Chains A and B, each alone.
Chain A
Amino acid sequence: MKLTEFVVADAIIPDLKADTKEGAIRAMVASLAAAGTIKAEDQEGIVAAIMKREDLGSTGIGKGVAVPHTKHASVDRLVSTIAIAKDGVDFASLDGEDVHILFLLVSPPDRPGDHLRALENISKHLRNDNFCNFLKQASSAKAVVDLLHEADNNQLNH
């Protein structure tokens, strides 16, 4: 499963400005709706489900990265978007640091394997400091997409 297969290019936010965790999640879900990936009427339900998951424990996993996610019956395949927050967002992360890179995932309830493979893929690339640094420096959605292609093709040095 490649990044470019599940990250919706039109929903990438290269300059997220959000004061709160909920604000960040809301903006990312709205971006998926604006890209036509999810229906406008499903936005509130998806935001609520992601926030409910965050209540169980922050998906801010350290190193300035968060992976907010939920299962939701409104999608028939796993979809994701990326946001880059240059100023950082307080995500109540495990290491207490602000988050700068966010991968938001919405997956169908009956496809747990796809969710695991997406997490596996995202985490594999996020362990590469070059990937993280280039992502944080990306100034446009196109720059992010180009980077995802390079990562998918293993063109980034570790």
Chain B
Amino acid sequence: MEGEPVHVREVTVNLEAGLHMTPLSQIVQLVQKYNCKMHIHKGAHAADATSMLDLMTLGAERGTRLSITATGDQAEPALDAVMRLFEANFETGLSH
């Protein structure tokens, strides 16, 4: 929506194996719970955070710097939740 604020966070991939399919599916499942549009950016390349196929195109190895943008009613809580996932290095104890 025009004029809608875009919230941005920055994160570095710390997973030994990089952002492979298991952590990506954790992101998709988490973001789907929120009313927002979220994209993960690697440089100029952006991937829809609710699409596994899109996220797989990131090919983000350990040490890769990513920026995460979100718009919508729940953009900020959604970003907080995704940041917690990265901070916990995807060890939520719930899914692998």
Contacts and interface: CB of A to CB of B under 8 A. Distances in A.
Range class of the B interface residue count: 20 to 34
Contacts of A115: 17, 20
B4 interface: no
Nearest to A122: B56
B57 A124 contact: yes
A126 B19 CA distance: 18
Contact of A119 (B51, B59, B95): B59
Nearest to A111: B17
B interface secondary structure, majority: loop
Contacts of A117: 59
B60 A116 contact: yes
B52 A94 contact: yes
What's the interface size class on A, roughly? 20 to 34
A119 B56 contact: yes
Contacts of B88: none
B96 interface: yes
A112 B95 contact: no
Interface string A115-142: 1110110111011000000000000000
A13 interface: no
Contacts of A62: 51-53
Interface of A: 56-57, 59, 61-63, 65, 67, 69, 94, 112-113, 115-117, 119-120, 122-124, 126-127
Given A120-B57, A127-B57, 13 more contacts: A56-B95, A56-B96, A57-B22, A67-B56, A94-B28, A94-B52, A112-B17, A113-B18, A116-B17, A116-B19, A119-B21, A122-B56, A127-B54
